[in-house]
Amino acid sequence: MGQTGYGRVLVPLLVVMLAGTFSACRSADEPPARSAAPPTAPSLPPAGDVWPDAFFETPARISGVRAVRPVAMLGEREVLLADPSSTHPVLVGYDPRTRAHRVLARVPEGPAGHRIAKAASGAGRVAWMANVRGDGDPPRIQIWVMPVSGGAPELLTEFPGQGFSPSALDGFEIADGHVVWWSGALVHRVPISGGAVRRVKTEGYDYMSSWPWAYDKEDGLLNLATGERRAVAAMDGGSRRCGAEWCVSELTPKAHELTRVVTQRVDGSGRTLTPGVHMEEALVRDRFGFFDPPFVQGGAFMVTTMGRPVGTLGTATVLYDRCTGRSALLDPSASAATDGRPEQIHLGGSAPAGPLLYWKSGGDRYTVLDLSRVAADGCSS
């Protein structure tokens, strides 16, 4: 046997001998050596098992109304249904407990197509942004409002649609007596009672999860309504996003480590680690996090959801509830798909208690998750 062969035998023997020597010298109180086995991604329970009262179904078609899909919650008992892809949609209020529906408004028939791009509810009103085109005039954007009780919609404002993409907006909501919409540092609003559209000065703050708090990694938080500023404590990771009270970011995993998301208060207290991959968004209403499923960095399996369609959360999403510390999996593949392809999880319009989530669960049904129905269990800010 040559020298190289000896090396292959002697090195392991030397390691064993040294290990025995160190073991003899180690104190009995000293903890044992950490296992070198890599972690495994946790198996998360289905969200329907964790929060069964938060789920319900809605129809995909209603007789005399055309196709519909969930749009936004109108209150505790009713959900707004419409078909955003229709050129003349019908807006319907649907009660999932009684399965009764009522027509709230019909977009008048005419040469111009009227497609709902964004919608929100709040302050007893429903608002939506529509793409209007097809009548020979240049494309334009309109914002409409109506009472949640129904009635004739009122046109709040209209502006040119050339070069404007509602699908690229980061937010659209009713707040402080206005309809507010934004994309990055561009924030606009119009009084819900009518008036001129005004651009809101953001002073370079380039992110907002909900009105009125804008965020910047260097300067912290700015209240766009009052001018109040809040410093933000240092935090792990480079994907930090902050709401009014809480921040979230992703830890940078080392090789063979589980991907984790860190949440903490703006002042740095309350730090918590949760398995997952940060989608680079703040907690919804400073409470709920939507994360991609966790994986072991450098492991054999890794699922990415880069390039997910606008307005969706991918085909499998971890829902994290900061109040209870629980995480669960939203997985539409557990429902019957219509064409064999994985169903996307869609994010609905803004509402006072948070947006709804929905996906197609069969040929004529949608599964809906209403975040307002997730019990807070004594949650504090």
Domains of the chain in start order, with CATH, are 38-373 (2.130.10)
- 55 or 219, which is more confident? 55
Residue (of 373, 337, 368) closest to 96 by Cα position: 368
Q: Would the pLDDT of 335 be above 70?
A: no
Q: How far is CA 81 from each of CA 55, 76, 221, rounded to the nearest angstrom?
A: 16, 15, 35
Q: Are 291 and 313 in contact (CB under 8 A)?
A: no
Of all residues in the chain, the percent with pLDDT exceeding 70 is 84
Give the pLDDT of residue 297: 79
Residue 55 has phi, psi (to 5 degrees) of -110, 145
Give the pLDDT of residue 65: 86
Give the pLDDT of residue 32: 47
The Cα 215–Cα 243 span in angstroms is 8
Burial class (CB in 10 A: 0-12, 13-18, 19+), 199: exposed
Q: Cis peptide before 108, with omega less than 30 degrees from 0?
A: no
Residue (of 315, 363, 368, 309) closest to 337 by Cα position: 363
Give the pLDDT of residue 234: 92
Q: Would the pLDDT of 286 be above 80?
A: yes
Q: Would the pLDDT of 34 be above 70?
A: no
- 112 or 43, which is more confident? 43
Confidence class for position 336, pLDDT limits 50, 70, 90: low
Confidence class for position 308, pLDDT limits 50, 70, 90: low
- 337 or 288, which is more confident? 288
Of all residues in the chain, the percent with pLDDT exceeding 90 is 60
The Cα 120–Cα 348 span in angstroms is 9
Give the pLDDT of residue 231: 95
**Residue type (1 letter), 5:** G
Residue (of 329, 299, 295) closest to 314 by Cα position: 329
Confidence class for position 28, pLDDT limits 50, 70, 90: very low
Token pair belonging to 11: 């090195």
Confidence class for position 238, pLDDT limits 50, 70, 90: confident
Q: Would the pLDDT of 7 be above 50?
A: no
Give the pLDDT of residue 306: 42
Give the pLDDT of residue 12: 36
Q: pLDDT digit string (tens) for 164-199?
A: 888 889 999 999 999 999 998 899 999 999 999 999
**Which residue is listed with tokens 């947006």?**
355
Give the pLDDT of residue 52: 96
Confidence class for position 88, pLDDT limits 50, 70, 90: confident
What residue spans of 264-353 are helical by DSSP H?
A: none
Confidence class for position 253, pLDDT limits 50, 70, 90: confident
Q: Are 187 and 224 in contact (CB under 8 A)?
A: yes
Burial class (CB in 10 A: 0-12, 13-18, 19+), 15: exposed
Confidence class for position 377, pLDDT limits 50, 70, 90: confident
**Which of 5-14, 66-75, 238-247, 285-294 comes out lowest in average pLDDT?**
5-14
Q: Would the pLDDT of 337 be above 70?
A: no
| Average of per-residue pLDDT across 203-228 | 93
- 108 or 128, which is more confident? 128
The Cα 87–Cα 218 span in angstroms is 44
* First-to-last C-alpha distance (Å) of the chain: 71
The Cα 113–Cα 121 span in angstroms is 23
Long-range Cβ contact pairs of 75-81 (< 8 A, separation 24 or more): 75/121, 75/148, 76/372, 78/148, 79/356, 79/368, 79/370, 80/104, 80/119, 80/121, 80/126, 80/349
Give the pLDDT of residue 252: 83
Which residues are 250's β-sheet partners? 261
| Average of per-residue pLDDT across 203-223 | 92
Q: Would the pLDDT of 37 be above 70?
A: no
258 secondary structure, DSSP code: B
Q: Are 104 and 119 in contact (CB under 8 A)?
A: no
Give the pLDDT of residue 339: 58
Which residues are 92's β-sheet partners? 81, 103
- 31 or 259, which is more confident? 259
Give the pLDDT of residue 66: 80
